[in-house]
Copies of this chain bind each other. A is one copy, B any other.
Amino acid sequence: MFESAEVGRSVDKIEYAKRVSVLRTRLLKAQHALAGTSLRLVVIVGGVEGGGKTEVARRFLDWLDPRGLRVESYGDPSDEEDERPEYWRYWRTLPSSGRGAVLVGSWYTRPIVRRAFKQIGSGAFDQALDRAMAFEAMLIREKTVMVKLWLHLSKKGQKRRFKELESDRDTAWRVTKQDWEFSKKYDRFREVCERALTKTSVAEAPWTVIEATDRRYRDLAAGEAVLAAIEGALKRASAPAPKPASDRSKPPKVSVLSRLDLTKRLADDHAKKFEKQQTRVALLSRLLRDEGRSLICAFEGVDAAGKGGAIRRLLGAIDVRNARVMAVAAPTDEERAHPYLWRFWRNLPRLGHATIYDRTWYGRVLVERVEGFCAVEDWKRAYAEITAFEAELAEAGTIVCKFWLQISPEEQLRRFKDRVKTPFKQYKITEDDWRNRGKWDAYQAAAIDMIEKTSAPDAPWTLIEAEDKRWARLHVMKTVADRLEEELG
Contacts and interface: CB of A to CB of B under 8 A. Distances in A.
A444 B315 CA distance: 56
8 contacts: A58-B316, A61-B325, A62-B316, A66-B315, A67-B326, A71-B323, A173-B286, A334-B334
A423 B427 CA distance: 56
A29 interface: yes
What is the oligomeric copy number? 2
Contacts of A66: 311-312, 315, 325
Interface stretch (A73-81, A113-121, A123-131, A146-154): A73-81
How big is chain A's contact interface, by range?
35 or more
A70 B325 CA distance: 7
A327 interface: yes
Nearest to A174: B319
Given A24-B424, A54-B319, A71-B320, 11 more contacts: A58-B320, A61-B315, A62-B312, A66-B311, A67-B325, A68-B327, A73-B321, A78-B350, A104-B321, A332-B332, A334-B334
Nearest to A59: B320
A327 B66 CA distance: 9
The 9 closest A-B pairs by CB, nearest first: A67-B327, A73-B321, A66-B325, A71-B320, A25-B424, A58-B320, A32-B427, A80-B80, A333-B333
Interface in A10-64: 24-25, 28-29, 32, 54, 57-58, 61-62
Contacts of A58: 316, 320
A333 to B, nearest CB: 5
A326 B67 CA distance: 6
A195 interface: no
B423 A25 contact: yes
Nearest to A74: B321
A324 interface: yes
Q: Which residue, of A32, A54, A321, has the highest number of chain B Cβ atoms within 10 A?
A: A321
A358 interface: yes
Nearest to A425: B28
A427 B57 CA distance: 24
Interface string A340-381: 000000000010000000100000000000000000000000
Contacts of A32: 427
A440 B324 CA distance: 50
Contacts of A315: 61, 66
Interface in A160-183: 170, 173
A79 B424 CA distance: 44
A338 to B, nearest CB: 12
Given A312-B62, A334-B333, A424 B28 contact: yes
Contacts of A173: 286
Contacts of A286: 173
Interface string A292-314: 00000000000000001001100
A423 B28 CA distance: 11
A312 B28 CA distance: 14
Nearest to A65: B308
Nearest to A53: B321
